Structure 1
Amino acid sequence: SKSIARKKISNSREKTGRKPGGQPGHRGHCRKKLTPTREIYLPAPEEVLHDPDFKKTSKTITKQKIDISVEVHVTEYHADVYYNSKTGERIHAPFPQGVIDDVNYGGNLRAFLFLLNNDCCTSIDKSRRFLSDLTDGKINISKGMINNLCRSFAQKTESQRKEIFCDMLLSPVMHTDCTNARVNGESSYVFVCAVPDGGVLYFARGKKGHDGIKGTVVEDYQGTLVHDHDVTFYKYGTGHQECLAHVLRYLKDSMDNEKDRTWNRQMHSLIQEMIHYRNGLSESEEPDPQTVSEFEERYKTILSIAGDEYDYEPPGKYYRDGYNLYKRMKKYKKDHLLFLHNKNVPATNNEAERLLRKYKRKQAQAVSFRSPSSIDHLCKCMSMLVLMRRKEQTNLFREIAEIFA
C-alpha cells in the first residue's frame, strides 16, 4: 500500500450514513471508579458555615482522580566468604536463582521492556529511553539486553509451542496465510497458522511455496484449510475454503472497472446473501439442503452469464482481473461454497488476516531485520503473546514476568 505504482485496492465496506461514535439508543460506556487508596473530605464552603439556613443533607458527591507512579526496587544480597586455612577453599552461601551477575534485572522489568518492544512495537532506543525517563535516569539498559529478550522468551516457551503444534494438527479447520518480510534487505516471508478460538503459530521462512510450508502445521495437516487463493495450499489438507472477503473485494473492483457487466453485481449480491444466511443459523441448526442447493444453482447460473458476457465482449488488454476471477470461481466452485455444507468452516480467512497485521505493524517499525534468527525469535514470541491474550482473565504482564523470573 506504500508503493506509488500499486493500483488502488477496492474497499468492500459500504457507508452506513451514521456519524462516528456512540449511536442513539445505545447505553454509553462510562469510566469505572476504583477502590480509593486515599480519601479527602472537602470542607464546607464559607457561605454555608455562616448561613444557618443551609442544612446538611444525606447526599454526598464523590469524584475520583486516578494516577499511577513508578518505583525502583533494588534488592541487594550479601554473602560472607569463608576461607579454609588447611585446604585453601573459599565458600559462600548460594545466591537465589536468577542472581548470577553483579547486576541482574527482575522479571517485571524484563516483561515491561519485552512487551514495549515486541507487542507495542516501539523501537529499542525509544524503549530504553522511556524506561530511563520513568525512573529519573536511574535505569539505563543496553540495547543488546533489550534485543536478547526476544530470544530468551522464545527459548523459555519452546515446550509450550510444541504442544500447540500437536493440538493444531487435530483441529478440523485451520486458517493459514503468509505475508512479505524483509531480512537484511532481502525478501522473506512470515506464515501464520491459526485454529478458530485455539492455537496460533507464526513461522519465518526464506522462501514461499512448498519450501516455505515445510516445518509448518500445514505440511502434515489433514483437515480443512481456509486460505486466500494460493494454489500451493491446495496440495495440503483434505478440504479447502476460499476467503470470500477477498472475492467480494475483487467483485467490487470488477464492478468499478467493468460497469457494462452484470454478472459481477449479481455474484456480489449472492455471496452476501449466502454469508448472511450462514451467519443467521443458530448453533444447533444445520444448513437446509434445499436452500443450499438453490444457492448452488444460482451460483452456476451467474457464472454462465459471466461466460456469455465475456464471449460477447472479451476482456480488455489493461484489465483482466474480472475475467480471471470468473475463471477461478468456475474452476474452484466447490472450494468457494464449502462453508454452506460444513458449519465448522468459516466463510472468510479474516482470522489469519488479523493475525498477520500484528506482524506487519512490527515490520513497519523495524523495516528490515538483520538476521533470519531475529525474525524467527519474533515469530515464536508473537505466537505465545496471541495465545496468552486469548485466555480469559489473564494478566499478560504478570504471566510474562513469571516466565522471565
Structure 2
Amino acid sequence: MDRDAQIDWLIQELTTVRRALDEALQENTRLKERIHELECQQKKDSHNSGLPPSSDRFARRPRSGRERSGKRPGGQSGHQGRSLLQRHDPDQIVVHRPMQCEHCSCDLRLTPARPTARRQVLDLPSHPLQVTEHQVQQVACPECGALCRADFPVGVRAPVQYGPSLQALAVYLSQVQLLPYARVSQVLEDLFGHRLSVASIEGFVIRAHQSLEPVEEALKEALITQDVVNQDETGLYVQGKRHWVHVVSTPQLTHYAHHPKRGREALQAIGIASRLQGLSVHDGWSSYWAYGKGHALCNVHHLRELTFFAEEEHQLWASEMKVLLLLMRELVAQAKARGWNAFAEPMQVVLMEHYQQILEQGYQSVPAPPLARSGKRGKSKQHPARNLLDRLRIHADAVLAFVRDFRVPFDNNLAERDLRMLKVQQKISGCFRSVQGADAFCRLRSYVSTMRKQGHRLLTALETVLAGAPLFPSFS
C-alpha cells in the first residue's frame, strides 16, 4: 500500500472512531441525564412533591412542611376547655334514701328526707325501636248521620314503614361514615334489635337523593356568584371505569359532581365553573384557566417543589423563594388579625420586586436548554427547576393573588380537604356499582359537607330530607 493510500485509510479510520466517540459521548450524556432523573424521582415524597403520603417509601420518613411552634403537646395555657356538665332537665330521676339508721337500725321509711347531693349518668336508652301505631277512627255525625273518618298523618302511607329518624341514621352511616350497606344493617341490628334489608337502605339513599334535587340546584347557583371559590378534582371509579369527581367549595358551601371526563367537557356539563363570576383557586390544571374572572394558584404545591430543589439540588434561589412565600403568608396573617383587607400599594410593590429578583437569580443559576439540533422536532427538554421558574414568572399574578386580596387563600387546601373523604370511600368500597349510586353519593355529600360547615346537626338535617321537606343551608 502506497503512502497516499495509507493516509486515506488512516483518515477514514479516524473519522469512524471520532463518529463512534461522539455517539458514545452523546449516549453517555443521555444516560447521565436519565440516571439523574431517576435519582430525583427516588428522592421525591409527600413533603417535596405532589405525591400523596400513601406513596412515601418505608426507608425514609419525610419531614413535615410545618414549622415547629415550640409548644408542648396537649392543651395550651388559657384555652377554653369542655367539661361534662349536669343538665337541669334529666329524662329520669331515681331517688335513693336510707331505709334504716346505720347506728341504731331505726326504721326511716316514713321519716321526711331532704336531698343532699345529685349525680347524673349519660347513657344510651336500652329500649329497642319505638313502634308508634296510628289508629284512624270514624264518627257518625249526630245531625246528618254521615260517617266522618280521620286522616293518617302526612308521610304515613304503608301498613308498616320506617320513620324518618331511622332512615336518616341509615343514610348517615352509609353516606357520611362510609359503611357498606351490609354493615349498616348489622350495626342497626346490634343497636336496636331490628335488621334492615340492604334494599331498604338503598331505597332510603335514593329517596334522599331525589329529595335534595332543589337544594343542589340552589347550591350551584349560590357558588356561581361567590367572590372566591376553590376547585379541585380526583379520580373515582364507577362500574369499573375511571370517572372524575370535581369539587367547587367555599368555607361555607361544597358541591361535588362526577363525570367520565376531567377537562372542559366535564366543567361545562356540571355547569358551575363555566359560569363563575368570581376568582378561582386551583392547582394549575389547564381547564380551569378558561373560566372565572381571576385565578389564584395553590402555593403549597410550589413550596413542595421548592423544597425539593433546595434540599436535594441545593439551589439557593429555591430556598430564598420558599422563605419569601412563607414570609408573605405570615405578613398576610398578621394584617388580617389587624382587620386589614389588603396591603397598601407600596408594600405590594416591594414584595413583588423581591419576588422578581429571586426569579432572575433562579434563571441565572438554571441555564436554558441548548437549541434543538436541525432535523429534530419540538423544543429541547429543559430542567424541571426552569419549568417551575417559568410557571412562577408567567403566572406571577395568580401566585401572589393572596397578597393583593386577603379574601384569597394562600393554598387550595380547602378543596383538597373536601375531596379527602371521597378517597376514603374508594379505599373502602373500591368503586360504585351504578351511575345512580355515584350521583346519589355526590349530591348527599354536597349537602352533608355544606350543613357541617354551617354548624347544623347532620342527623337532624337528614331527618328533614327523608321527611320530604329538606332544610336548606344558608346561601347568603
Q: When the two structures are superposed, what TM-score results if normalisation uses the length of structure 1? A: 0.84
- Count of equivalent residues: 380
For the pair 1:76 / 2:130, whether they are aligned, the reply is no
- For the 8 Å contact 1:132–1:140, the answer to whether it is kept is yes
Letter of the aligned partner of 1:129 in structure 2?
Answer: Q
The answer on whether the counterparts of 1:10 and 1:252 sit within 8 Å (CA) in structure 2 is no
The answer to whether 1:370 aligns with 2:433 is: yes
Question: What pairs with 1:304-383 in structure 2 (closer than 5 Å)?
Answer: 304-311=360-367, 321-383=384-446
Match of 1:278 among 332, 335, 357: 332
Give the distance between the partners of 1:244 and 1:61, measured in 2 at CA: 58
Maintained 8 Å contact 2:251/2:453: no
Question: Where do 1:246-261 residues align within 5 Å?
Answer: 246-258=301-313, 260-261=314-315
- In 2, the alpha carbon distance for the partners of 1:179 and 1:293 equals 37
How far did residue 270 of structure 1 move? Answer: 0.3
Task: Look up the equivalent residue of 1:162 and give its one-letter code.
Answer: E
Q: Is the 8 A contact 2:228 2:281 kept in 1?
A: yes
**Pair member with larger Rg:** 2
What does residue range 184-223 of structure 1 map to in structure 2 within 5 Å?
184-197=239-252, 199-214=253-268, 215-223=270-278
| Separation of aligned partners in 1, 2:214 and 2:346 | 48
**Matched residues in 1 for 2:85 and 2:271: separation?**
44
Superposed displacement of residue 15, structure 1: 3.6
Structure 2: segments with no counterpart, 5+ residues: 1-51, 105-114, 139-147, 371-380, 468-476
User: Does 1:173 find its partner at 2:228?
Assistant: yes
The aligned counterpart of 1:103 is: 160
8 Å contact from structure 1 (residues 10, 253) kept in 2: no
Please report how far the alpha carbon of residue 218 of structure 1 lies from its aligned counterpart in structure 2 after TM superposition.
0.3
SS for the counterpart of 2:155 is coil
Structure 1 CA distance, aligned partners of 2:265 and 2:240? Answer: 20
Give yes or no for contact 1:11–1:249 (8 Å, CA) kept in 2: no
Q: Structure 1's 285 and 99: CA in aligned 2 closer, same or farther, altered over 3 A?
A: closer
Offset from partner CA, 1:94-142 (integer Å, 9 cap, x none) = 5443333332111000001111111111221111101101123xx2111
Q: CA deviation digits over 1:34-70, x for unaligned, max 9? A: 33432555769x99x58xxxxxxxx966543221115
- Per-residue CA deviation, residues 155-176 of structure 1 (Å, 9 max, x unaligned), is 1011122112112222121111
CA distance in 2, matches of 1:254, 1:62: 65
Alignment of 1:386-401 (within 5 A): 386-392=449-455, 394-401=456-463
Q: Which residue of structure 1 aligns with residue 323 of structure 2?
A: 269
1:23 aligns with 2:58: no
Which segment drifts farther, 267-276 or 149-158?
A: 149-158
1:228 aligns with 2:283: yes
- 2:46 maps to which residue? none
C-alpha change, 1:312 and 1:212, in structure 2 (3 Å) is closer
Q: CA deviation at 1:188?
A: 1.0
Offset, 1:146: 1.1
Q: Structure 1 141/262 Cα, relative in aligned 2: closer, same or farther at 3 Å?
A: same
Matched, 1:155 2:210: yes
Q: 1:243-269: CA deviations, max 9, x gaps? A: 1122222222322321x2101110111
TM-score normalised by the chain length of structure 2: 0.72
Partner of 2:21: none
How far apart are 1:71 and its partner, in Å?
3.4
Shift in CA distance, 129/17, structure 1 to aligned 2, threshold 3 Å: same
Quick one: structure 1 residues 32 and 80, their matched pair in 2 at CA, closer, same or farther if it must change by over 3 Å? closer
CA–CA distance in structure 1, aligned partners of residues 309 and 61 of structure 2: 12
Residue 206 (structure 1) shift: 0.9
What percentage of aligned pairs have identical amino acids? 26
In the alignment, residue 304 of structure 1 is paired with which amino acid? Answer: E
Whole-Å separation in 1 of the counterparts to 2:184 and 2:83: 32
Q: Classify 1:339/1:74 alpha carbon distance in 2 versus 1 (closer, same or farther; 3 Å).
A: same
Which of 1 and 2 has higher RCO (CA within 8 Å, sep 6+)? 1
* Cα distance between partner residues in 2 of 1:312 and 1:135: 70
SS of the residue corresponding to residue 229 of structure 2 reads strand
1:216-261 Cα distance to aligned partner (Å, 9 max, x none): 3101113210111212100111210001122222222322321x21
8 A contact 1:174–1:225 mirrored in 2: yes
Query: 1:202, 1:380 within 8 Å by CA — same for their partners in 2?
Result: yes
Q: Which amino acid aligns with 2:298?
A: C
Partner of 1:87: none
Give the equivalent residue in structure 2 for 1:14.
Answer: 67
- Describe the SS at the equivalent of 2:367: helix
Contact 2:247 2:254 in 1 (8 A): yes
**8 Å contact kept, 2:369–2:382:** no
Letter in 1 for 2:256: Y
Q: CA RMSD in A?
A: 3.3
